[in-house]
Structure 1
Amino acid sequence: MAKAITQIREVPRPEIEQEQAMTEIMSEIVANKDVILKTIRIMKGLQETKVLDVVESMIDQRTEIGAIAIQQVNQPAIRNVIKNAMNAFSFLGELQPGEVSDVLEGLSHGFKRMAESGQEGKKQSSLWQLRKRLWSREMRAAMTSMMNFMDGLGEVFLRNRRENS
């Protein structure tokens, strides 16, 4: 025997669904009036400067642009640039921010001192004054830092040479 119908499902008519959708859209437009007006002003500015035309052309020609981009990326020079950029980011990730700050501050101050002495045109008057300056605290600190840098650089060069042999 058939089961009795206890519920009637009402199938919404397309006109009612469309009216509800329009009401929902209009309420969102009213709620976001400022955002929509700003977006329209931005789009108008992009249209006036022909940026939208360029973007539209790029979308129309996306296959050709993609092929050209892939050709450019496949060139050895570009691959080297990408590898070097990755190595640079890896190198920067290994450095401690405080150390980098100290080195950059020292470089900046050294360049300022060098520029000042070049503008003033001062000369070292004697070998004695040059020797005296070489034994200053600042000069010893800089020379020690440079020697440690050179030691580290040499260690890596020798290690890489052994590994490649």
Structure 2
Amino acid sequence: MIEDTEISLAAGVGAAILAFGTIVTPIICGKVKQDNLAKKIVGYSENYLRSCLNEYFSKNENDNDLLDFSIGTIKLLKVSNTDEITTVKSEVYGTKTFLPENKKPFTKKFKKKLTMQRARYPEKRKSDGEFFVEKECPSCGATFLPDENECCSYCGYSLHGDSEKWKIKI
């Protein structure tokens, strides 16, 4: 079609760069949006939230054949901050592995939309609900067993700014 080799190569390279940009741009924009939403949450840790959700859903599954419950991707949809509460709307993707009696194990993927709340300043929380409680001492890493002063019984660390408690509303 194009007789000049240099122009034809330039057109091909230009088309390849344009196609690459079309594919990569939405991925980068989505990552930037997720990072910006995560920055709105004080003390946010996706790994900690994932472990809390794993624990919560594992306890609340009633299927006797359930072998494993695993949270994969957490996609933040909206973050709202008020003076007292941070509300996070998200989509959670994961898998459930089942081991039926006398059958082969199988895995099902799932997607759940969640609304989670956490006090921005936990000492101001006024509502009751089921909360995820930190399991390890952030100072020494030992299992957190609070003494009578709410300090780590191993190293004495005090959890004054305990901002990692989430209330899940499904």
Quickly name the TM-score band, shorter chain normalised: under 0.3
Q: TM-score, normalised by structure 2?
A: 0.20
Of structures 1 and 2, the one with the larger relative CO (CA 8 A, separation 6+) is 2
Give the TM-score normalised by structure 1. 0.20
Q: Which has the higher helix share?
A: 1
> Which is strand-richer, 1 or 2?
2
Q: Which has the larger radius of gyration?
A: 1
